[in-house]
Amino acid sequence: MKKLFSTHWKSSKQPRKQRKYIARAPLHLKHKFLGAHLSKELNAKYKIKTLPVRKDDEVIIKRGQFKGIKGKIEKVNLRKTRIFVVGAQQNKRDGNKVFYPIHPSNVIITELNLKDKERVKVIERRNKK
């Protein structure tokens, strides 16, 4: 049986192969696609440029129709590589508000959720490099 996904793939200039790699990646690897830049203050403090986003991180949206909005991450969708930020909501016709999906590369993390000890270990490990 042929595998759908290979970890030995390095890179390609062809967008169709890049999309295929992202679409077929297993969930434990899709976590790496959730990376977002840290703010200048966090960058100076931890000496890290990017980290994967998590629920309850504070972010500023830098691209799209909700540009400039500050809010906490309410939900992270690993399968579709999207995050949902409080304040970035659309109104439906019936008056309900729904979260608007945003790609993590379009936000900057301004405050980290450090409740998880594993995340603190990752930050310390990457800080030493």
Task: State how far the Cα of 9 lies from the Cα of 65, in Å rounded to an integer.
Answer: 35
Residue 69: what pLDDT?
96
Residue 128: what pLDDT?
78
Asked whether residue 8 is domain-assigned, the answer is no
Task: State how far the Cα of 100 lies from the Cα of 91, in Å rounded to an integer.
Answer: 10
CATH classification of the domain holding 103: 2.30.30.30
Q: In which domain, by residue range, is 94 found?
A: 31-128
Asked whether residue 98 is domain-assigned, the answer is yes
Average pLDDT, the chain: 92
Q: Given a cut of 90, is residue 55 above it in pLDDT? A: yes
Asked whether residue 24 is domain-assigned, the answer is no
